[in-house]
Amino acid sequence: MSRKSSLAHNIKRLRKQFKLSQEELAKKAGVTYSTLIKIESGVNMNPTINTLMKIAKVLKIKIDDLLR
């Protein structure tokens, strides 16, 4: 699995574990809903470190764990 598809898969999997909708995760992370959808769907394959930090914080993991 490529890094990018791993990222999309991991965010989606963790979001579901936390029982968050895409809209809820986006709001809690302070990123736009459309940005989160693009990351999860693999359209945005190169999100900024700042965006990843915000998402990782809400999901209570390290950025490295998002990319595995």
Model confidence pLDDT, tens digit, residues 12-42: 999 999 999 999 999 999 999 999 999 999 9
CATH code of 3-62, in short, is: 1.10.260.40
Whether the predicted pLDDT of 47 surpasses 90: yes
pLDDT at 2: 55
Token representation of residue 49:
């470190």
**Whole-number average pLDDT of the chain:** 92
Mean pLDDT of 39-64: 94
pLDDT at 67: 85
Per-residue 3-state assignment (H helix, E strand, C coil) for 34-48: HHHHHHHHCCCCCCC
